[in-house]
């Protein structure tokens, strides 16, 4: 994990050098700068005088990491996401909630196989001592930050991270064409052709992630945003280590099949595909590459009644996948 200082150095330079700006709210005598910011749909209340800046974010304002909290975007079980301003940019701040006792068991399943700093930490996490809880919690929050840095570097379309400070992740705002927060995949109606294209793009991202040894673990229509340049995968605190987790195959299948069900509503032929089994099989054999082209057909599924015919079907499907890739410009 990077230190706060190192992470801070990854932030773009702020326009107001030196002095620490302590703007906490939007006021009515709006300076020009605010007028140039994109306007946002009201999917959460504006941060009004009555609404206090959350303590975790106030610290970031005091430290000059962000300049202003614009408004809350969404509050969930695990975290609250806010729209914030940092210099001229609008970003998202994800403030993680402290872990509730009851969610420990579920998380233990995801954290299996995840690397922790040392054996003392690993033993403490396993025992659930108070120190262990703290370690487990830190590991949970850091998992999303680490995954975002790793995936961005590998060219997987996820929000670009801008740092992690005391339980708050600052990341790129995934926006729609008007600069407003992009809708979730489950909130849009798609033409069959677009659904097929999104499915293809998302499968490519899942393959890229798996080739790095990572499985999302909670990939669904709620955790994919639809940006003008295509779907963006978000929400990765539960990212699973594919090689070290006994449940990895099942989690991959659930992720991939969620995509199939969601997009299959618009393009029913997707419902017949078997991408999860195909990519897991390649991964297990050590043959999965970031740009592996898959067919959606899994040979072991079919009966071996006519192996020649089966090979022809697979070759056709592979050819089709290559053509599709070429049409999409690579």
Q: Which residues bind Mg ion (CB under 5 A)?
A: 223, 235
Shortest separation between residue 49's beta carbon and ligand ADP, angstroms: 24
Q: Which of 34, 104, 131, 222 binds ligand ADP (CB under 6 A)?
A: 222
Contacts of 15 (CB under 8 A, 6+ apart): 87, 88
Closer by beta carbon to Mg ion, 61 or else 92:
92
Q: Which of 214, 234, 252, 297 binds ligand ADP (CB under 6 A)?
A: 234
Q: How many CB atoms lie within 10 A of CB 277?
A: 19
Site for ligand ADP, residues 67 to 86, rule: CB under 6 A: 73-74, 76, 78-79, 81
224 lines the binding site for ligand ADP (CB under 6 A): no
Shortest separation between residue 78's beta carbon and ligand ADP, angstroms: 4
Site map (CB under 6 A) of ligand ADP, residues 136-165, x = contact: -----------------------x------
Shortest separation between residue 136's beta carbon and ligand ADP, angstroms: 17
Could you give the C-alpha distances from 270 to 27, 186, 194, 203, 237, in angstroms and in order?
50, 16, 12, 12, 28
| Long-range contact set of residues 153-159: C-beta below 8 Å, sequence gap at least 24 | 154/208, 154/212, 154/290, 155/208, 155/290, 156/205, 156/208, 156/209, 156/233, 157/201, 157/205, 157/230, 157/231, 157/232, 157/233, 158/232, 158/233, 158/234, 158/236, 159/92, 159/232, 159/234
CA quadruple 38, 43, 45, 46: dihedral, nearest 10: 0
171 lines the binding site for ligand ADP (CB under 6 A): yes
Closer by beta carbon to ligand ADP, 91 or else 260:
91
CB closest to Mg ion, residue no: 235
Is residue 45 within 8 Å of 72, Cβ to Cβ?
Answer: yes
Give the number of residues in contact with ligand ADP, rule: CB under 6 A: 21
Residues that bind ligand ADP (CB under 6 A): 73-74, 76, 78-79, 81, 92, 94, 159, 171-174, 181-182, 184, 222-223, 225, 234-235
């Amino acid at each position: 994990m990077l230190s706060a200082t190192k992470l801070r150095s990854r932030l773009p330079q702020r326009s107001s050098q030196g002095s620490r700006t302590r703007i906490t709210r939007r006021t009515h005598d709006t300076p020009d700068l605010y007028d140039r910011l994109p306007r946002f749909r009201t999917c959460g209340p504006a941060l009004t005088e009555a609404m206090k800046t959350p303590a975790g974010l106030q610290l970031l304002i005091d430290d000059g990491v962000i300049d202003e909290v614009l408004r809350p975007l969404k509050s969930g079980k695990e975290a609250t996401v806010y729209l914030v301003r940092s210099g001229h940019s609008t970003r998202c701040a994800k403030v993680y909630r402290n872990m509730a006792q009851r969610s420990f068991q579920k998380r233990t399943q995801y954290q299996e196989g995840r690397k922790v700093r040392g054996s003392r930490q690993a033993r403490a996490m396993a025992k659930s001592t108070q120190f262990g809880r703290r370690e487990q919690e830190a590991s949970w929050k850091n998992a999303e930050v680490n995954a975002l840095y790793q995936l961005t570097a590998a060219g997987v379309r996820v929000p670009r991270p801008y740092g992690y400070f005391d339980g708050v992740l600052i990341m790129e705002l995934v926006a729609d064409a008007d600069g407003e927060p992009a809708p979730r995949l489950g909130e849009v109606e798609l033409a069959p052709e677009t659904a097929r294209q999104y499915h293809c793009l998302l499968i490519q991202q899942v393959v890229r992630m798996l080739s790095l040894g990572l499985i999302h673990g909670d990939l669904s229509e709620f955790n994919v945003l639809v940006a003008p340049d295509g779907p963006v995968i978000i929400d990765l605190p539960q990212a699973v280590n594919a090689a070290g987790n006994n449940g990895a195959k099942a989690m991959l299948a659930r992720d991939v099949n969620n995509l199939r069900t969601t997009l299959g509503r618009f393009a029913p032929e997707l419902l017949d595909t078997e991408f999860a089994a195909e990519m897991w099989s390649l991964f297990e054999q050590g043959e999965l590459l970031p740009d592996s082209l898959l067919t959606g057909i899994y040979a072991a599924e079919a009966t071996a009644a006519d192996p020649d015919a089966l090979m022809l079907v697979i070759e056709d499907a592979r050819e089709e996948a290559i053509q599709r890739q070429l049409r999409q410009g690579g």
